A and B are shown apart, each in its own frame.
Chain A
Amino acid sequence: MSCNTSVTRVQLPPAVDQVPRVPVHLMPCEIEHDGPAQVSQYLTATTKDCKQEKTVSFRGRGLKGQELSCPQGYTGLVLKEINKPGSDQEDRTVKLTSTFDKLTYWNLETPTNSDDTVVMAMDWPELAEAIHGPVED
């Protein structure tokens, strides 16, 4: 088995907090598209906010969503590949293009709930800290 020697480099700008914060949506479907989309014109403009719950339609299907914060002490990063390696021997470089500290996740028709996968996933950093962190006294 050959050893993968390629390295992935993350290019960070001098000041991470100068990078634009962007709204991020986690969709309950797979969209075969990687590139710009008119999110604010279609999705944001038609989102209805009712109490804690957001509703919107995507491709004619009803979605229910909620805003979710990144775990405390964490920042979400949006990375973009700036040169794709031709082989797995070459290094990859990804660039930090924007950051987020909260995201909106959407369920297909189902009301959002504390049992939703992405909500529960946010438990991990705290648990990881508890089991892997330094032991004090």
Chain B
Amino acid sequence: MDLSSFESNNSVSCRLASQIPDVCRTEDCCLGIDEAGRGPVLGPMVYGICFCPVSKKEELKNSKVADSKTLTEDERENLFEKLDEAKSYVGWALQILSPNTISTSMLQRTKYNLNALSHDTAIGLVQYALDSGVQLTEVFVDTVGPAEKYEEKLSKLFPGIQVTVRPKADSLFPIVSAASICAKVARDRVVKGWSFAEDLGEVDTDYGSGYPNDPKTKAWLLKYLDPVFGYPQFVRFSWSTAQTLMDSKGVTVHWDDDDEDREKAAQRLNKKSMLSYFGASSGSKAQNPTHETHRFFTERRLKNLNTL
């Protein structure tokens, strides 16, 4: 697994893939999808697919690829080696969603939530396998959300393919646990070798699991909080853990699309809200009309400067 293309720019999303085994282009294949790192406040979320001919399912099962969550990091690395040894009939592909991609998507003007992002990523990977000529007949998906709706959505998108969406699919179908191993190995390696684009000098890498409830992760988040910038891009800004810390220990930042009360926003900017004109005492502007500024200036937000 060569992570260099992601590591050269870890602020964007990146796809990595194995060679497509020849046999997967000629025989009916099954494909499993799983994700790694959905919950953590640190590091990327990785989506993985793994595929092999339906006829090789038993062989894969015998290689004992169990649910990656029940395995240690070393065991997962070993199993990934085994998958690599089986590359004549097993292929994989990964989509690494950088923490910056997650933050900027979830905090976008038109919000793009994690579920939608996850679904689109999974769909993109299945499409990649199809575009690469893999003869897909069965797709197995692990999900955290409602399985039936997701299954229906995928079946509609990929007619002719038998789609099975199940919670904990990684412990039910070996091809899903193989996908889970690929995703988890990539996530572990990326987190371990994270290179900070920010100029922070030596960064303490003792950040724990990255889950918000891990004391080590919490301590790290406290240590690396910058009052103005918040965090390096390694942190998911859209996680409430990060937002709560920035709210309490950082400086406040206002955006024009904040869910702030209009009245409050106007007060803050020392402007009149529309509502104030309906009050009993009308504003001074109404009593003392000054000449109106030309559109040329208001459009450019240019103001006469009397005092600095």
> With A28-B255, A33-B227 known to touch, is A123 a contact of B300 (CB < 8 Å)?
yes
Give the docked Cα–Cα distance between A38 and B250 (Å): 13
Nearest Cβ in chain A — how far from B285, in angstroms? 16
Nearest Cβ in chain B — how far from A63, in angstroms? 9
Give the docked Cα–Cα distance between A41 and B197 (Å): 9
With contacts A32-B251, A108-B256 known, what are 5 further pairs, Cβ within 8 A?
A33-B228, A38-B226, A60-B100, A61-B108, A92-B308
Nearest Cβ in chain A — how far from B79, in angstroms? 34
Chain A residues with Cβ below 8 Å from B204 are none
Contact A42 B226 (CB under 8 A): yes
Contact B199 A121 (CB under 8 A): no
The answer to whether the Cβ of A46 comes within 8 Å of any Cβ in the partner chain is: yes
The secondary structure that dominates the A interface is mixed
Stretch with Cβ within 8 A of A (4 or more), from B30-38, B165-173, B214-222, B230-238:
B230-238
Nearest Cβ in chain B — how far from A12, in angstroms? 14
- CB nearest to B104 among chain A residues: A62
Contact A31 B228 (CB under 8 A): yes
Number of interface residues of A (CB under 8 A): 35
Contact A45 B198 (CB under 8 A): yes
Partner of A117, one of B104, B233, B300: B300
Partner of B230, one of A46, A60, A120, A123: A60
The answer to whether the Cβ of B252 comes within 8 Å of any Cβ in the partner chain is: yes
The answer to whether the Cβ of A18 comes within 8 Å of any Cβ in the partner chain is: no
The answer to whether the Cβ of B302 comes within 8 Å of any Cβ in the partner chain is: yes
Nearest Cβ in chain A — how far from B194, in angstroms? 14
Nearest Cβ in chain A — how far from B6, in angstroms? 15
List B233-264 residues whose CB lies under 8 Å from chain A.
233, 236-238, 242, 246, 251-257
Chain A residues with Cβ below 8 Å from B3 are none
Nearest Cβ in chain B — how far from A50, in angstroms? 11
The answer to whether the Cβ of A51 comes within 8 Å of any Cβ in the partner chain is: no
Give the docked Cα–Cα distance between A12 and B272 (Å): 37
Nearest Cβ in chain A — how far from B204, in angstroms? 16
Chain A residues with Cβ below 8 Å from B256 are 28-29, 108
The answer to whether the Cβ of A30 comes within 8 Å of any Cβ in the partner chain is: yes
Give the docked Cα–Cα distance between A117 and B303 (Å): 13
Interface centre among B200, B229, B236 (most CB of A within 10 A): B229
Chain B residues with Cβ below 8 Å from A121 are 300-302
Nearest Cβ in chain A — how far from B84, in angstroms? 33
Contact A117 B107 (CB under 8 A): no
The answer to whether the Cβ of A70 comes within 8 Å of any Cβ in the partner chain is: no
Chain A residues with Cβ below 8 Å from B230 are 59-60
Chain A residues with Cβ below 8 Å from B228 are 31, 33, 37-38, 42
The answer to whether the Cβ of B307 comes within 8 Å of any Cβ in the partner chain is: yes
> With A57-B103, A109-B109, A120-B299 known to touch, is A31 a contact of B251 (CB < 8 Å)?
yes
The answer to whether the Cβ of B13 comes within 8 Å of any Cβ in the partner chain is: no
Contact B103 A108 (CB under 8 A): no
Contact A38 B197 (CB under 8 A): no
Nearest Cβ in chain B — how far from A42, in angstroms? 4
List B1-55 residues whose CB lies under 8 Å from chain A.
9, 11
- CB nearest to A4 among chain B residues: B307
Contact B229 A40 (CB under 8 A): no
Partner of A61, one of B9, B107, B301: B107
Contact A45 B199 (CB under 8 A): yes
List A82-122 residues whose CB lies under 8 Å from chain B.
92, 94, 108-109, 117-118, 120-121
- CB nearest to B242 among chain A residues: A60
> With A29-B255, A60-B104, A117-B300 known to touch, is A37 a contact of B238 (CB < 8 Å)?
no
Give the docked Cα–Cα distance between A56 and B254 (Å): 18
Give the docked Cα–Cα distance between A137 and B81 (Å): 86
Chain B residues with Cβ below 8 Å from A61 are 103-104, 107-108, 237, 255
